[in-house]
Homo-oligomer: A and B are copies of this chain.
Amino acid sequence: MRIALDVMGGDLGPRATVDGAYLYLKEAPKDDHIVLVGDQDLIKERLKHIPEKYHKRFSIVHAPDNIGMNESPTEAFKKKTNASMVVGLKLHASGQADAFVSAGHTGAQMAGSLLTLKRIPGVKRPAIGSFLPSEKGMVFLIDVGANVDSKPIHLLQFALMASIFVGEVFQQKDLKIGLLSIGEEEKKGNALTLAAHQLFKENLPNFYGNVEGRDILKGKTDIIVCDGFVGNALLKMAESVMGVIVKAIKRNIGANLFTNLGALLVKPAFSELKRSYDYQEYGGVPLLGVDGISIICHGNSTARAIKNALRVAHEMSSHQVNKRIAEKLREKELNNA
Measured CB to CB, the residues of A under 8 A from B are: 133-135, 145, 148-149, 180-182, 189-191, 193, 212-218, 226-230, 232-242, 244-245, 247-249, 252-253, 255-256, 258-259, 261-270, 272-273, 276-277
Q: Could you tell me the distance between the alpha carbons of A167 and B46 in the complex, rounded to whole angstroms?
A: 57
A-B contact pairs, 10 of them (CB 8 A): A148-B189, A189-B229, A190-B227, A193-B229, A214-B236, A216-B237, A218-B244, A249-B269, A252-B273, A261-B265
Q: Is the CB of A266 within 8 A of B268?
A: no
Can you name 13 extra interface pairs (CB under 8 A) apart from A213-B236, A233-B233? A133-B248, A145-B182, A148-B182, A149-B190, A190-B229, A212-B232, A213-B235, A217-B237, A234-B234, A248-B277, A249-B269, A258-B265, A263-B266
Question: What number of copies of this chain does the assembly contain?
Answer: 2
Q: Could you tell me the distance between the alpha carbons of A258 and B269 in the complex, rounded to whole angstroms?
A: 10
Q: From B189, B214, B228, B268, give the contact of A182 (CB < 8 A).
A: B228
Q: Whole-angstrom distance from the CB of A135 to the nearest CB of chain B?
A: 6
Q: Is the CB of B245 within 8 A of A272?
A: no
Q: Is the CB of B259 within 8 A of A265?
A: yes
Residues of B within 8 A of A216 (CB): 237, 240
Q: From B190, B233, B256, give the contact of A148 (CB < 8 A).
A: B190
Main SS class of interface, A: helix
Residues of B within 8 A of A249 (CB): 269-270, 273
Q: Could you tell me the distance between the alpha carbons of A233 and B256 in the complex, rounded to whole angstroms?
A: 36
Q: Could you tell me the distance between the alpha carbons of A262 and B263 in the complex, rounded to whole angstroms?
A: 6
- Nearest chain-B residue to A258 (Cβ)? B265
Q: Could you tell me the distance between the alpha carbons of A277 and B266 in the complex, rounded to whole angstroms?
A: 21
Residues of B within 8 A of A190 (CB): 148-149, 227, 229
Residues of B within 8 A of A244 (CB): 134-135, 217-218
